[in-house]
Amino acid sequence: MRRCRVRSSILTVMATCLMTVSPAIVQAVDTSDTRLLASPAITEGKISFVYGDDVWVAGADGTGARRLTSHTGQERSPYFAPDGKHIAFTASYDGNADVYVVPVEGGEPKRLTWHPGEDIVRGFTADSRVLFTSQRAVFSRRHSQFFTIGVDGGVPHISNGPGRPRGNFRGMA
């Protein structure tokens, strides 16, 4: 009987703590205190980065920062297209990492891949196709391969990747 009372009181204290902490968790991103910028990408006159699990874009001098994504999922690894008009990134919106692209001016991110394994953006090819790694065509999870896909979607194609024979490389990112 005494154990039930102790457990009950512990649960009450924990619930009280959570109720007092939860408003702090729900607060918006503080853009005046940006010390945790990650994954920078740069193109002529613009930079892109991840802050607060969202993709942002700003002028090359850091002015005019604006958020491009605001989904509750996690975004990472932004890369500019060679023409500077799109940003490709990896996002985990539905519990899985997939490839997305969004115009630099803003708009709705477009999902490009739907594979159940992780598809991780690694950049763009010279002909403006999104370059990403995936384990979709390997028999073990020890290796990944390079694939490309157009910014308008379509079927991913296996790629040799940057300096890799047959699209294979060892190790994980």
Question: For residue range 3-43, what is the model confidence (pLDDT) as tens digits?
Answer: 444 444 444 444 444 444 444 444 565 666 667 889 999 99
Q: Candidates 2.120.10.30, 2.10.70.10, 3.20.20.70, 3.40.50.920; correct CATH number of 36-170?
A: 2.120.10.30
120 pLDDT more than 80: yes
**Within 10 Å of residue 19's Cβ, how many Cβ atoms?**
9
Note the pLDDT of residue 32.
67
Q: What is the rounded CA–CA span in Å between residue 85 and residue 47? A: 12
Which has more confidence, 102 or 9? Answer: 102
* Two tokens, residue 148: 């490309």
CA distances from 41 to 47, 88, 96, 121, 133 (A): 6, 11, 23, 12, 18
Rounding to the nearest 10 degrees, give the CA dihedral for residues 149, 90, 119, 117: -140
* Two tokens, residue 81: 């297209």
Q: Where are the domains of the chain?
A: 36-170
pTM of the model: 0.74
* Two tokens, residue 135: 């384990």
Expressed in angstroms, the distance from the first to the final Cα of the chain is 52
150 pLDDT more than 50: yes
Contacts of 103 (CB under 8 A, 6+ apart): 85, 86, 87
Q: What is the rounded CA–CA span in Å between residue 92 and residue 103? A: 19
